Structure 1
C-alpha cells in the first residue's frame, strides 16, 4: 500500500446501522419468473379482462342492437381555419370554421390580425409607417421600400420559366389592367335580385357564445360587443390572441360541444358511449397533445387515441409509402411514411400556407387598382371575398398568364350588394408562387409568443424534450447557416458548392452544376455530399470572400453566443421553416436515406386546401425534377400523386382517421380516462409507438 494512506478502520462493535438486507442481483441465466413478460400481465390486458368479466355478468338475453361499424367513433381533425368533426361511419365530416365569438360585458378588445407578407409602403397605415420609420432610423438602415426588389425577383423567376416553356409575355399588360380597373364602375344589385343575401348579426343578438359560420356573420364585432378569436394557429394553440392555454381550450370545447349537439344530436350524457380519434400534427408539441387529450378526458368520452396527419393521409389515399405534403392555412407539413410508419427524421414544417397566398394576392390586386378599394382583410366578409377570388383566378400554369377579366360580388352589412369587375395579368400566378419564394413571407411576424404551459413545467417523464422539434431534415436544411470549423473554412481544395432555387429550370440547373452531374454519372456516391446545392433554400451564401480569408480577424471580446434548442447556435426549426416548398421536400426525402430518394420522389402526396390551385402538381413536379436530376443518379420522372377520385384533398386526413376507426386493430390503441390518469403521456407513447 502506498505510504501516506491509512488503513481502513475496522468496525469492532459488530452493530449494523439498519436491518434492511440488500438483495443480490439475480443471475439472468437462472431466472424462472415470468413477471411482466406477457401481455396478459400488463395494465391494458387487466382492463380488458375486467370489461370482459363485467360483460359476462350482464343478462345474456339482452342483445345489443346491430350498429354500423365506426358509428360509435368520433374523428376530430383540428386546424387553424377549420375543425372537422364527424363519425367514422360518415361519408364526409362536418367542417366548422375554427372561430369563436364571445359576448363581452365591457368594451370588446380589438383583435389584431397578423400580417404575414411584405407590402409596399403606400399600403401601410399611418401608425405602421411611423413605426417602420422609427425602427429603420434607430438601426441606421436605408429608408428604402424593400417590396419592389422582392417583387422583381419573383417576376424574374416567372419570366425565366416562361422563356423555358417558350411562352411570350404580353407587352404593357400591367398598364392595361391598371387603366381598366381605375375606370371600372361597380354595379349595384337590387335586393330583390340578390338570392344569396346574408343574414348579419348585430348588437341586438343575445347569444353569449357563437361558433363557426355564426361567428363570421357578425358584421362589426366591436359595435356588437363580441370578441372574435381563433383558438388554433400554426398547428398549436393561438397564444397571440389568448392570454392563457385554458382560455383557448375553453373555446375549443365550445366548438366541439356545439358541433356535436347541432350536427350529430349528441349531448353530454351520450359522450360516455363514444370513442374519439384525435388527429395530431406530424411535428407535434407535447404540451398541445397533452392539453387536448386532457380536454377530451374532462368532457367524459369513453376512450381515445391519437393519430398523426401524414399516416392518416396515407390511410385515406390507400397507399403505404408516400412523401405527404400538407399545405394548410398557416403552415405546410412534410413527412415521409414508410409502410404505415412516419419517419421522424423526415418531418418538416414550413411557415407558409394558403392564408399567405390570399394576403399576397390582395397586395398584388391593390397594386393594380382593384375597384373594391375599401377591402380590409381583418373583416370576415372581406376575407371571404378574397378567398373566393383566390379559388377562382389563382393558377401555377404558366400558359394561363394573360390579361383576363374576372368578377366578384361583395355583400356587406347595412350596404347593398355590389358587383365588381377587374382585369389581371401575372398576379394570378405570382400570388401562389410565394410557396417557392421565401423572401415574400414575413416569418418573424408569424412567430407565436412563448408562454409557459402546465405540461411544460410539470412532466411525468424526467426527460428533456427541448430537441423533439428538431429533425435530421431540418439540420440538413440549415447546415449552411451553422458556423464552420476553421479547418473547413481555410480548405480551398474543396470546390465551392453551388446553390439553386426551387424556381430554376432543368436546363439552368444542369448548366450551373456540371461537376455534380459528372460525379453522379458513374455511381450514386454520397448524395448527402452532392446535394449541398439545395441546402440553401433562402439563396444565401455562407462562404467567405478571399480578402476576408487572408486577413485574420482582430481579437475582440465576443459576447457569449446564444444556444438554442438541441445545443445549436441557430434556431433550427425556425430557419428551416423559411425554405421554398420544393427544396424542403427534397431535403425531407434526403433525410430518409440515399436508397429511398427515388421511391419517395415518385410518390409525393399533395393534400390540403391549397392543393386545389390549378397546376400546382405539374409546377411542383418540374421544380423537384430540376433539383433531383443533377443530384440523384438514374432519377426517373418525379410524380405527384393526386388524391383518390371524388375525395376532397381538404378532408383526406379526416378520411384516414375514419378508416382507422373502422379497423379492428384500433382496439390496441385505445386509452381510457383511467389509464390516462395513471400513466399520462407515457401510456399514450406505449399505445401509439410513433409518439
Structure 2
C-alpha cells in the first residue's frame, strides 16, 4: 500500500436495512406546546365548536318553528324486569309497556316451565322436587325426622307476627285457619254469562300468524305452547335475562322492538325522527359495565341524536325533590338500596337483595294453596293466573298488624275458551305473612335466583376501565357478610371496625347459625325493640339456610383424607360476597348500607329513607320498616332519633318516581354536559361515557 493513503475504516455494522434516519429527540427546554392542556383542545370541544359553526351556517331565511316545551326532544327510557317505561321528558306520566316479547317458533314451541323461587310444602311439590330436597338436607337428624322444612320456616314467621301483635296489644283468633279452610273447601264458584261480563278478553290462539307479539298483546296468548310462541322477558334481576335467552344479541333484538313500539304508541315517532331526539337511559345503581355498553350501543345503532346514562337512586331523588336520601327500590325481582349525598350516589352503600315483588306474589300463592283456595286449577306459569295473583296481592296484602282478621274476599277469573268464573275465599294472617318475606327471607330459594356465570367482557370494553370485581363488591356487602368470613380473611381483606358485624345483628356463626350480637346489654332491651327478638331469629334462620356455599352435595366419601383446596370467589374472598349479602332481611340491609356511608351519617340517612317501587304500595310497609329499623338502630347508635320513611310526593306513583326524576334531569340545562353523541361513542366507546358521567 502506498504511503500517505489512510486505512479505510472497516464497517462493523454491515448493510443497513433501511435508509430512514431516526430524528433526534427534541430538547425539552425548547418545547412550548400546549397540546391538550386546555379543554378547548379536547374532542368534546372540537365537536361542540363544529356543531356551533354548522348552526351559524344555516340559511337565515329559514322559518323558525314555534317554541316547544322544554324536554320535548328528550326521551327517557327506564327498563325493568316487568315493565319498560318510556316517554318524553315533557310528558306527565310515561307509557308502561309489559317488558315481554313473544316470538313465533319455526319448530315446536318449548314447554313453559316455572322456576320455583319460594319454598313450599311438600304437598305442592312434584316427586322429583321432594327427592331433591331430601338429598340436600344437611344433617342426618333432618333426614331422620322426615319433617317438612317449610313448616319450620313458616312457624318462625308466625311466631314473629304473634310477638308484634302481642306488643301492640292486638287479639288473635285461635281457630282462624280452621275457619278459613272450611269456608274455602265448601265454597261454590259462580259462573258469569258472557253478556254480563263487560271486561271480556280477546285471547290469541294457534290461528295467529304474527311473527312477534309485544307487551300486552303477548300476555293475551292463552296457551303459548299450542299457539307456537315462546314468551320471554328480556330483563331479569336488573340485567339481561341470559337465563332464558341464548345470547345478548337476542335480548337486544327484543329490547329494540319494545323501544320502537313504545315510541310509536306514546310519542308517535317513526324511525326517521330518531335523529332529532336525545335519550336518557336509566341504569341500576349496582350496574354491569357490559350491560351499560350494550344498551348504549343499541341506542347509538338506532340513530338517536345523543344519549346519556343516569342511576336509579339519583333519579329517584330528583323525582322526590330532595338531595340526600337512602333510596330503597323494591322491584319485581330484586331490591336495590343506595344512599345519595348531594347529587352523588355513594358507591360503598350500594346493595342488591334477591327479594322482590314477584316473590311476595309467589309466596302468597303458596299460602293460599295451604288453605284450599277455591280456584284449584291456578298455575302461575299461565299469564292470566299470574295477573289474578297480582290483583289479589294488591287488594289483600298488608303489613298493618291491626288488619289481620278473618276477612272475606272475591276475585274473577277469565280463561281462554271458558266462561268467566267468580270465586270467594277467606284469609287470616296470609295477607300479612306474604309481604313479611321482605323482612323474613328464610322462605326464599336464593340458589334458584342466582344469576348464571358471568361472561367475559365485550372486546370493546377496554381493560383500563373494567374493574368488575371491585364494582360488584361494596363496603356495605362486606359489613353484611363479615360474620361468614374466616378470621384470617376478615383481618387481612377488610379494615372495618369490630362493630361492623353487629350492624346486621349477628356474630360469628356457630353450628351453621348466626347468634345475636352480645354487645347489646340487658339494660338496652326496651319495649321499643318490638321486633328485635324476631329479627335475631330471622337472621339465625336465614344464615342457617344460606351460610353454606351453594354447591351440590356429594354422597361419595373422599378416597383420601386430603384437604380440598379452598374456593376463592371474586375479590379474593372465601365466600361469594354479593350473593351472600343478597340474602339479608330488608331492614338489616338498609342499616348496613347506611353504616357503610360513615358512622356520622347513620342518623342522617335513617331519617330520610325513600321507599319506591311497586311493593311500596303495600299498606303499612312504611310503619313496619320504621319500627324494625328503630329496633336495630337504638342499641347500636348512640343518641338515635326516630327513623322516618319519606313518602313519595303527592299524587306521584312510586313505581314511576325514577322515570319522573330522569325526566326532570332531561329538562335541566346542566344535562348538556352529559350528552354523548354517536360520533363520540364510535371513537371512544365507554371511555367517552366515563368522561361525561360521575359514577363510572
Change (3 A) 1:126 1:488: closer
In structure 1, the residue matched to 2:321 is 318
State the distance in 1 between where 2:167 and 2:476 align.
31
Q: How far 1:536 sits from its partner (Å)?
A: 7.7
State the distance in 1 between where 2:445 and 2:205 align.
34
In structure 2, the residue matched to 1:346 is 349
Q: How far 1:500 sits from its partner (Å)?
A: 6.7
Q: How far 1:13 sits from its partner (Å)?
A: 7.2
Contact 1:324 / 1:334 at 8 angstroms: preserved in 2?
A: yes
In structure 2, the residue matched to 1:411 is 414
Q: Does 1:189 align with 2:189?
A: no
Contact 1:607 / 1:650 at 8 angstroms: preserved in 2?
A: yes
In structure 2, the residue matched to 1:50 is 50
Change (3 A) 1:457 1:482: farther
Contact 2:483 / 2:501 at 8 angstroms: preserved in 1?
A: no
Q: Does 1:251 align with 2:251?
A: no
In structure 2, the residue matched to 1:514 is 521
Contact 1:534 / 1:627 at 8 angstroms: preserved in 2?
A: no
Q: How far 1:101 sits from its partner (Å)?
A: 0.5
State the distance in 1 between where 2:489 and 2:135 align.
39
User: How do 1:227-376 residues align onto structure 2 when only pairs under 5 Å count?
Assistant: 227-376=230-379
Match of 1:637 among 635, 638, 642: 642
Moved more, 132-141 or 39-48: 132-141
Q: How far 1:138 sits from its partner (Å)?
A: 13
Match of 2:573 among 558, 568, 574: 568
Contact 1:517 / 1:631 at 8 angstroms: preserved in 2?
A: no
Change (3 A) 1:498 1:321: closer
Match of 1:424 among 424, 427, 440: 427
Q: How far 1:563 sits from its partner (Å)?
A: 1.0
Change (3 A) 1:318 1:516: farther
Change (3 A) 1:250 1:320: same
User: How do 1:265-664 residues align onto structure 2 when only pairs under 5 Å count?
Assistant: 265-450=268-453, 452=455, 455-456=457-458, 459-462=461-464, 463-485=466-488, 513-514=520-521, 517=524, 538-539=542-543, 557-664=562-669
State the distance in 1 between where 2:500 and 2:341 align.
35
C-alpha distance after superposition, 1:188-207 (max 9, x if no partner): 11111101111111111121
Contact 1:481 / 1:542 at 8 angstroms: preserved in 2?
A: no
In structure 2, the residue matched to 1:179 is 182
Q: How far 1:105 sits from its partner (Å)?
A: 1.8
Contact 1:500 / 1:539 at 8 angstroms: preserved in 2?
A: no
State the distance in 2 between where 1:293 and 1:497 align.
39
Q: How far 1:355 sits from its partner (Å)?
A: 0.2
Change (3 A) 1:13 1:595: farther
Contact 1:603 / 1:640 at 8 angstroms: preserved in 2?
A: yes
State the distance in 2 between where 1:499 and 1:426 align.
30
Change (3 A) 1:488 1:259: closer
State the distance in 1 between where 2:472 and 2:523 align.
32
State the distance in 1 between where 2:259 and 2:161 align.
44
- How large is the Cα RMSD of the aligned pairs? 3.1
Moved more, 646-655 or 255-264: 255-264
TM-score, with normalisation over the residues of structure 1? 0.88
SS in structure 1 at match of 2:44: helix
In structure 2, the residue matched to 1:128 is 129
Match of 2:155 among 147, 152, 156: 152
Change (3 A) 1:220 1:278: same
Q: How far 1:447 sits from its partner (Å)?
A: 1.2
What is the total number of aligned residue pairs between the two structures?
Answer: 645
C-alpha distance after superposition, 1:486-520 (max 9, x if no partner): 9989xxxx999879769xxxxxx9998217959xx
SS in structure 2 at match of 1:279: strand
C-alpha distance after superposition, 1:340-382 (max 9, x if no partner): 0000000000000000000000000000010001000000000
C-alpha distance after superposition, 1:619-660 (max 9, x if no partner): 000000000111111111000000000000000000001001
Change (3 A) 1:203 1:563: same
State the distance in 1 between where 2:500 and 2:13 align.
76
In structure 2, the residue matched to 1:9 is none
State the distance in 1 between where 2:101 and 2:501 align.
50
Q: How far 1:20 sits from its partner (Å)?
A: 4.2
In structure 2, the residue matched to 1:5 is none
Contact 2:489 / 2:574 at 8 angstroms: preserved in 1?
A: no
Change (3 A) 1:137 1:600: closer
Q: Does 1:674 align with 2:679?
A: yes
State the distance in 1 between where 2:477 and 2:518 align.
28
SS in structure 1 at match of 2:635: coil
Change (3 A) 1:540 1:498: farther
Change (3 A) 1:595 1:330: same
Contact 1:282 / 1:347 at 8 angstroms: preserved in 2?
A: yes
C-alpha distance after superposition, 1:277-311 (max 9, x if no partner): 00000000011111111111111111100000000
Q: How far 1:111 sits from its partner (Å)?
A: 3.6
State the distance in 1 between where 2:79 and 2:501 align.
42
Q: How far 1:125 sits from its partner (Å)?
A: 2.5
C-alpha distance after superposition, 1:258-283 (max 9, x if no partner): 12112322111111111100000000
State the distance in 2 between where 1:340 and 1:381 align.
41
Change (3 A) 1:459 1:655: same
Q: Does 1:39 align with 2:25?
A: no
State the distance in 2 between where 1:170 and 1:499 align.
36
Moved more, 187-196 or 614-623: 187-196
SS in structure 1 at match of 2:542: coil
In structure 1, the residue matched to 2:101 is 100
State the distance in 1 between where 2:88 and 2:356 align.
28
SS in structure 2 at match of 1:271: helix
State the distance in 1 between where 2:195 and 2:539 align.
59
State the distance in 2 between where 1:585 and 1:224 align.
45
State the distance in 2 between where 1:585 and 1:458 align.
36
Q: How far 1:689 sits from its partner (Å)?
A: 1.6
Change (3 A) 1:415 1:95: same
Q: How far 1:35 sits from its partner (Å)?
A: 2.5
TM-score, with normalisation over the residues of structure 2? 0.87
State the distance in 1 between where 2:285 and 2:619 align.
26
State the distance in 2 between where 1:22 and 1:641 align.
68
C-alpha distance after superposition, 1:578-631 (max 9, x if no partner): 000000000000000011111100000000000000000000000000001111
In structure 1, the residue matched to 2:533 is none
In structure 1, the residue matched to 2:89 is 88
In structure 1, the residue matched to 2:80 is 79
